[in-house]
A and B are shown apart, each in its own frame.
Chain A
Amino acid sequence: MISELRLLTEKVADFITGQPASGASEGRFESLALEVFDFQYRNIDLYREHCRRVNRGPSNVRRWGDIPAMPALLFKHFFLYAGQLNDVAKTFCSSGTSAPRRYSQAHFSTPGMRLMDLSIEANAAQRLFPEDKLTRILVLAPGPAQAPASIMSYGMARIIKRFGVERSRFLVGANGLNLEEVISELRECQNAETPVSLLGSSFGFVHLFDALAERELTFSLSQGSQLMHAGGYKGRSREISPNDFIAMAHSRLGIPPRRVINLLGMTELASQIYDCTSDRPDSDPSRSDSLRPARRKIPPAWMRTRVVDPRALLNGEPAPAARPGQPGVLWHLDLANVERPMAVQTEDLGVLLPGGEKGAEHSAEAGFEILGRAEGAEMRGCSLSLEEFFKTR
């Protein structure tokens, strides 16, 4: 079985590395997706049970869109892995915002890690460092030494390793974000006109913006600088809208809107999805209209995203598409997830943007926007939510 896994991993790796920027070779994607599905159906017991329950299996899954998605919540409760326990070389955990007592887990073998590395690098090469334009990279998040289970820290370390020039580093220490160091680095980059890529958690940047505002500091980072943030706010800073975030990055750091990029990553998936910013203005973000939609995301060629309506599960349809323009929950398929269920139904709300209505078909114009997290119904009024109750104890 290991050899089958190896073989599939290599096929996916070839697909990722052989991809041009546009989403060509739909046929190749589909046949690979069906192959991976067949493998996962046979090798992940709980996934097979799920498929059976929704009456899907290799005999009636003919398109990638037929592939049943694993509900994301199940990653918090079960060992979802196609190999043996002793093949696991690395396990990542989510930070567990919605249910602190449970964390999503993702297990990787050594070849699985290599595949993820390829995915991270291919994605970053396309979205952050086109034509191999390398920069200094400063990360406003803890490094892997501090957060060994964080897939975000791992990914950012990978990006430093592959794309960072000298003096690229993580700027969060044991005592949190080292503001003085960040400010001194920014000052140095500005004065030396060194382009810098600032990477980090969304809330880390909000803390930085607030600190700069408090000290009445602004920077004008040199051309070629950019900002990539991920992970949302998780209650760890005030929340700001995507447009405000872009405007602040512009006013505080001098980074043009096109180079302020949000990244959607999940512990459950090996690949990430970047903002497509080509329709943003080069500079002045003050006309907020011009920023709409602020976060148009386009999956890389080895991923597909659909927007599904969980309310309409009738007729054995495991994941009916939401009506165009209507909000639904995001459904991702990531070929790089060979060892873990590659199709995941998330709890993120999103909407397909114009040009992306076909949903089931990948196209370069297609894109989606994240609307937030489906928190579900709070138990309103006087009925106690036991979840809340146990969360606080």
Chain B
Amino acid sequence: MRSQVEACWLPEALEQKLRPLIRGCTPIIKRYERDGDYMDVVFRRLSPEALAYAASFLRDQRNRVLREKSVYEIARALNLAAEKWLDPMYPPRRRAIEHISLITGFSTEMVAHSIDLEQRSSRYEHLVQALVNELGSPDYLDGFQPNANLCGMSQAIGPDLVGAIFSSNIPALPHLEIMRALLVKSSCLGRVSAGEPIFLRLYAETLHEIDPDLASCIVVTYWNHEELDCEKAFLESIDYLVAYGSEAQTERLASVKPPELRASWHGHKVGFTYILREALEEERVGELAQRVAYDFSIFDGYACLCPQVCFVETGGKLSPQAFAEECARWMSDWAVALPPRRLSVSEASRKYQLRELYFARESMNDPVSVIAAPDDFSFTVIIEEANRLDSSPGDRFLKIVPVNGVADAERLLRPLRPYLQCAALAGDAYRISSLSHTLASSGVTRIVPPGLMGTPSMMWHHDGMACLGKMIKWCDYELLPPEKALKVDAQQYVKTIDFAGFLKEKERKTYALGQ
């Protein structure tokens, strides 16, 4: 028996203002059960009227708080939050680990590992570097800055209010969209996922500890999928939408959102590993297999970043079979270091049936071989000469598909092109380079060596997009006519601009053109 925990976050000032609204904010209690243990989570559903009210509150906060802060100050606050969450003794972290584990079934070790991975890349240097990567400089967010390319000045303006449909697949990740919104000085109004309802609230509380004003620029709410009036009010009150979810969900949202609402979508994705034959050497195979096994173990295969299949070229010094056996040894080790999810009866049933299907196919001489399938379902390794890629059932299911060369893998991946995301490659550098070109033009948006699939940096163009840059609207101040701009030494020219008056927005208000 546990007490109830909160999933949503409403700044206190907003909560007070919502009180007079009849049924403005109603609790929805959901019970999560696993293996005889349970917990009740309280979600706060805002009525359509209250959502519109919250949006207007958040716009005010954006003007009052975010426009007045420098982007570096915001990044420092987010950095402090990351530091707190990286501290193993931080009480909310301990609570999150326990609760997320109960709700999602992920082991406490995996949740802790996930928090570490996500928060390490949420630190100051990463945030600033991400802005440099996408905007050229974070300074543009703080007012007009000289822009040598333009022979003038530029300023980057984030949306007033970013709306988020948060993700649930990676534990303790959904704060990413809050960070992205705050970094471009936007308030954030979002719907938490019932799949992982714990982290956002705790993260908002951390920001509140560090900087209550900053935390007052966030509202995390909830509505049931069928409450379309809430969804409508949400979509009509935001300036930019970031949505995670299944293909069906994102397609539906795209069809109902106001046409002018700009959006970033993060739908279903497929990742894979490709091992070139040159990598299959006795002396290196242990480390390679360890890394591949890590990629297939992390998040138990439930993240978009996770590989669903591992292509292994034939013709190397070691066979795909030998490589699979080496991987199985490491999968077993990772299952100890990062224990797998606790499966529900229903999930275990599905795994059981699928696994038995592989055993049956093997015994009927199909080109399938079950390399390892421990009784506790902690992982599965199979080799399959596939004519097409079948579903990976998740939960550390390492499927090795022997291929004669890149063309084989390309043929198998072709139907999945719109969904390709992350690829891990190992082998001869020259061939990797050529393969990378092919993959990039096939839609792959991230290429890494094995072992890094689950740990993207803040700098990654997430799903091929400049996620921060895409939210920005630029305002450029051109000081020279184009033909003249090409003739001057731009670097020297911008140094001569007296841009002091452009730095602060309040100063900008009094700046008189032509004076």
Interface residues of A (CB under 8 A from B): 46, 49-50, 53, 71-74, 77-78, 309-311, 313-314, 322, 326-329, 345, 347, 349, 374-377, 379-390, 393
Contact = CB atoms under 8 A, between A and B. Distances in A.
14 contacts: A46-B360, A53-B359, A71-B352, A329-B345, A345-B353, A374-B350, A375-B346, A381-B303, A382-B266, A382-B268, A383-B301, A389-B415, A390-B391, A393-B415
A379 B244 contact: no
A380 B168 contact: yes
A384 B305 CA distance: 10
A171 to B, nearest CB: 33
Interface residues of B, number: 53
Interface stretch (B69-77, B142-150, B392-400): B392-400
Nearest to A346: B349
Interface of B: 167-170, 193, 195, 244-245, 247, 266-270, 301-304, 306, 308, 343-354, 356-357, 359-361, 363-364, 375-377, 388-395, 415-416, 419
A332 B410 CA distance: 44
A382 B303 contact: yes
B393 A376 contact: yes
B394 A383 contact: yes
B353 A73 contact: yes
A376 B308 contact: no
A314 B375 CA distance: 6
B349 A314 contact: no
Contact of B170 (A50, A374, A381): A381
Contacts of B168: 380-381
A172 to B, nearest CB: 30
A313 B389 CA distance: 28
Nearest to B104: A380
A384 B345 contact: no
A70 to B, nearest CB: 8
Contacts of A374: 345-347, 349-350
Nearest to A307: B345
B138 to A, nearest CB: 28
Nearest to B270: A384
B343 A311 contact: yes
Given A381-B168, A381-B304, A311 B345 contact: yes
A74 B361 CA distance: 9
B356 A74 contact: yes
A309 B346 CA distance: 9
Nearest to B166: A381
Given A77-B357, A314-B375, A383-B303, A376 B351 contact: yes
A381 B302 contact: yes
A227 B388 CA distance: 45
Contact of B345 (A53, A309, A313): A309
A39 to B, nearest CB: 20
Contact of A328 (B270, B345, B363): B345
Nearest to B356: A71
A72 B353 contact: yes
Given A46-B364, A310-B345, A374-B346, A386 B390 contact: yes
B269 A384 contact: yes
A113 B308 CA distance: 44
Most chain A CB inside 10 Å of its own CB: which residue of B195, B268, B376, B419: B268
A313 B351 contact: no
B244 A389 contact: no
Nearest to A380: B169
Contacts of A310: 345, 348-349, 351-352
B360 to A, nearest CB: 5
Given A388-B247, A389-B268, A390-B388, 11 more contacts: A73-B354, A74-B357, A78-B364, A327-B345, A347-B350, A376-B349, A377-B346, A377-B394, A381-B170, A381-B195, A386-B390
B167 A386 contact: no
Nearest to B193: A381
Nearest to B377: A311
B346 A386 contact: no
A158 B186 CA distance: 68
A73 B357 contact: yes
B398 to A, nearest CB: 15
A349 B345 contact: yes
Given A381-B195, A384-B268, A386-B391, A347 B345 contact: no
A380 B270 contact: no
Contacts of B356: 50, 71, 73-74
Nearest to A71: B356
A314 to B, nearest CB: 5
Contacts of B244: 381-382
A383 B363 CA distance: 31
Contacts of B167: 381-382
Given A73-B356, A389-B416, A389-B419, A383 B269 contact: yes
A347 B391 contact: no
B304 A383 contact: yes
Contacts of B195: 380-381
A46 B170 CA distance: 39
Contacts of B347: 374, 376-377
A376 B350 contact: yes
Contact of A376 (B170, B268, B346): B346
A219 to B, nearest CB: 32
A260 to B, nearest CB: 27
Nearest to A373: B346
B350 A385 contact: no
B357 A71 contact: yes
A215 B60 CA distance: 52
Contacts of A327: 345
A246 B487 CA distance: 85
